Structure 1
């Protein structure tokens, strides 16, 4: 009795994953993502530039709606890129700060003495603020009704912290001592004077009595390094005889 040979069952051939296709798809996605990121950054820079021009022309109280209208787009676009007005302030402020820092550092490097360096830095700060006072006020003003510091104000605070560190260097050269109280406390006090006097000068209407930014920088520098009345000696203490005669 013959037996029918049992047919072997063929095993399925395992499929080879299309790794090449996955790699290509991933590369395409990465490429599209990079292009989108570049486009988004370019669009963001464009919106910042348009916002700065709108603030310069319309004033620091300009609304987001007016800024969007000047940019030829809608408020929703600005909210998508910056979150809120404080976010836009911070973005514009970062650009302004970077430009001010570059100008101030360049001015300081061109000076031949510590005092000239201080005067050059103060002059550069005043000049940048004077170039567009509306933009300066816009990026330094808090949008919080309660008066707390907004993001842009914090950004400017960081800027003044860096300027404080910058003026410490020429002050050490001027005093010749890194451990003196003047070097420890003077730079911070100096920044307060520069900012307060500078912003008051900026808000003062133009007149023949108002100094230009170079003359104002010279005045502030003299106040910082020599005092407001350097040529007037302190009054002598009365003698015992003078005291008795007065009595």
Structure 2
């Protein structure tokens, strides 16, 4: 153990440097770097193999063994949570940046939805792997819930402007309902095979925004009269 004195005259020790602590810090840094590398490898494997790929297939595609993944993530649920945390954080930052560049509420909503769809479309397999909570993983559900809560908060101001009443009771549930619409419509869109009639991400974002701001009646024509 090395002790650094505060003064040549022999004051109280100012700092104590432990070789063991130094090794521990280096090991933790190495472990964290290895985890990041495995998460990247997992995303590449899932992109190629699909969202339902097994741990063994992921490990083989990543060029390592299944035991390595178990050592760093515990099980497939832990791996899914680790990948999901990275993907969800990236989506949250991208959506927030899209909102910042908007000049008015509707433009902001459209930009956020377009950013969400574009990121999900980059790799639908990774998106569905990262957001799959069917296995009952509380950690993953918490990350995903936090993501949609933050997006709900972002969309509240534009919808408050739309409602014209900052104290409207509709704000208690309409923003959350809007996020549900965006997610459901977006995931159905992702799962639709490519065809000439399928809109691109920007066009889909504009359709969803029109639904939110204008109502579905503006998207179909003509609306039926009561007599019909």
Length-normalised TM-score, structure 2 = 0.87
Shift of 1:98: 1.1
Q: Distance in 2 between matches of 1:187 and 1:71?
A: 40
Aligned length: 216
Please name the residue that 1:183 is paired with: 171
Q: Distance in 2 between matches of 1:19 and 1:118?
A: 58
Q: Distance in 2 between matches of 1:233 and 1:132?
A: 37
CA distance 1:61–1:19, shift in 2 (3 Å)? closer
Please name the residue that 1:97 is paired with: 88
Q: Distance in 2 between matches of 1:134 and 1:152?
A: 17
Unaligned runs of 5+ in 2: 4-12
Cα root mean square deviation, aligned: 2.3
Q: Distance in 2 between matches of 1:42 and 1:214?
A: 36
1:86-120 per-residue CA deviation (whole Å, 9 max, x = no partner) reads: 11111111111111111111111111110000000
* Equivalence map 1:62-73=2 (5 Å): 62-73=53-64
Please name the residue that 1:30 is paired with: 21
Aligned counterpart for 1:211 among listed residues 188, 199, 204: 199
Shift of 1:149: 5.0
CA distance 1:68–1:143, shift in 2 (3 Å)? farther
Q: Distance in 1 between matches of 2:37 and 2:106?
A: 39
Aligned counterpart for 1:82 among listed residues 42, 54, 73: 73
Please name the residue that 2:153 is paired with: 165
2:42 aligned with 1:51: yes
Shift of 1:72: 1.9
* Equivalence map 1:139-158=2 (5 Å): 139-142=130-133, 144=135, 148=136, 151-158=139-146
Q: Distance in 2 between matches of 1:19 and 1:86?
A: 43
Unaligned runs of 5+ in 1: 1-17, 238-247
